[in-house]
Amino acid sequence: MELRHLRSFVTVVEEANFTRAAARLHLAQPGVSAQVRQLEKELGQPLLDRSGRTVTLTEAGEAILPHARAALAAVDAMRETADEFAGLLRGRVRLGSLLGAPPEVFDLAGVLADFHDAYPGVEFSLTEDTSDRLLTAVRHGTLDMALASLADERPLPGVALQVLLDEPLVGVVAAGDPLHGADAVPLTALRDRPLITLPSGTGVRAVLERACAEAGFEPPVAFEASAPQALFPLAARGFGVAVLPAGIARRSGPGLGTFALTDPTPRARVALARPAAGPAGPAARAFLDHLSASLPARLRTVTGAPLSRTRPSG
């Protein structure tokens, strides 16, 4: 039994198609088909059902697939360990980032560039998604680590967290709005106002909903956008009150007013999440160490700075 046969089998399963699997493996499609058939011959069982429009697993294939993946993972780990002893670091790091993470705050590109200079053999895949999905992926091991916003203070099973940013949510309104010019307003003042905020599944939205529930009302969300910066034009045109973290609010455009929220004060928290047992491979472990050390130094947090009541138009 050869590893290339196992790799072809697993890739065909993941792509559900021989042609796509061949392209991913940089092989000819007949060659991939021949390798899978050879594996089936050695095992004495059909592993794939080729009768439909997509390739599916047989009952025997479903039972064998986890063992094939484990064998390939073990070989990859052996190679990574050997490279590590030889002074080479190779492998792939699966990194997640919350949607719309401001590059000027987290500077992920700079962190990646510094690490790549030291370890050019490491490859990266970067996934942007809602924080709920990112944390689930970290917990299930499909991401090695992720920057995610947190909905509450409760610990997450199977996930370790390093809090990087902790700041209040604030309101942003256009000139002429009744709340423009206020230093702070109680959260209940937003009860009957259309709100502009991030979508469900994000930590900011969950924090806002929980704080409003504590104040006795459901937030009347009229507009939502995945990128925080997209909220400013909506607020500037008078569509409602934008609610977002203070650090991002301070980057709003001319003419917008910013005020603190009180009674209660919802807070946005961003953390570096990783599996509680740590990333699986040496490349991911090395990058986690680099990321943990680099991000706090690079974060341009404005927590604790006074809120500017108005953005001058001139």
In tens digits, what is the pLDDT along the chain, a chain of 314 residues?
Answer: 788 999 999 999 999 999 999 998 999 999 999 999 999 999 999 999 999 888 999 999 999 999 999 998 888 878 777 766 655 577 889 999 987 666 666 778 888 898 988 888 888 999 888 888 899 999 888 899 999 888 876 778 889 988 888 889 999 999 999 999 999 999 999 999 999 999 888 888 999 999 999 999 999 999 998 888 889 999 999 999 999 988 888 877 788 999 999 999 999 888 889 998 887 778 888 898 888 888 776 554 333 333 333 333 33
User: Is residue 245 situated within a structural domain?
Assistant: yes
Please identify, among 85, 107, 139, the residue that sits at the C-terminal boundary of a domain.
85
Residue where the block lists tokens 């341009």: 300
Same domain, 276 and 155: yes
User: Is residue 313 situated within a structural domain?
Assistant: no
Long-range pairs, 59-65, Cβ under 8 A, ≥24: 61/13, 65/9, 65/10, 65/13
Q: In this structure, what CATH number is given to the domain that contains residue 128?
A: 3.40.190.10
Same domain, 186 and 253: yes
pLDDT for the residue 310: 37
Same domain, 210 and 223: yes
Same domain, 211 and 253: yes
- Parent domain of 102: 91-164+269-298
Same domain, 225 and 201: yes
SS3 content of the chain, % helix, strand, coil (to 5): 45, 25, 35
Integer Cα distance of 295 and 286 in angstroms: 14
Same domain, 155 and 291: yes
Q: In this structure, what CATH number is given to the domain that contains residue 50?
A: 1.10.10.10
Integer Cα distance of 166 and 121 in angstroms: 34
User: Is residue 306 situated within a structural domain?
Assistant: no
Same domain, 102 and 216: no
Encoded tokens for 198: 């991030």
Same domain, 253 and 287: no
Integer Cα distance of 284 and 84 in angstroms: 12
DSSP 8-state symbol, 204: H
What is the reported pTM?
0.62
User: Is residue 308 situated within a structural domain?
Assistant: no
User: Is residue 311 situated within a structural domain?
Assistant: no
Please identify, among 69, 85, 101, the residue that sits at the C-terminal boundary of a domain.
85
User: Is residue 310 situated within a structural domain?
Assistant: no
CB-based burial, 57-89: b 16+ in 10 Å, e otherwise? beeebeebbeebeeebeeeeeeebeebbeeeeb
Of the candidates 65, 55, 59, 52, the residue with the CA atom closest to the CA atom of residue 29 = 55
User: Is residue 210 situated within a structural domain?
Assistant: yes
Please identify, among 38, 58, 85, the residue that sits at the C-terminal boundary of a domain.
85
Integer Cα distance of 174 and 83 in angstroms: 57
| CA-CA-CA-CA dihedral for 197, 201, 207, 208, to nearest 10 | 30
Q: In this structure, what CATH number is given to the domain that contains residue 246?
A: 3.40.190.290
Same domain, 189 and 229: yes
Same domain, 173 and 159: no
Same domain, 81 and 145: no
pLDDT for the residue 90: 76
User: Is residue 314 situated within a structural domain?
Assistant: no
Number of domains in the chain: 3
pLDDT for the residue 307: 35
Same domain, 257 and 174: yes
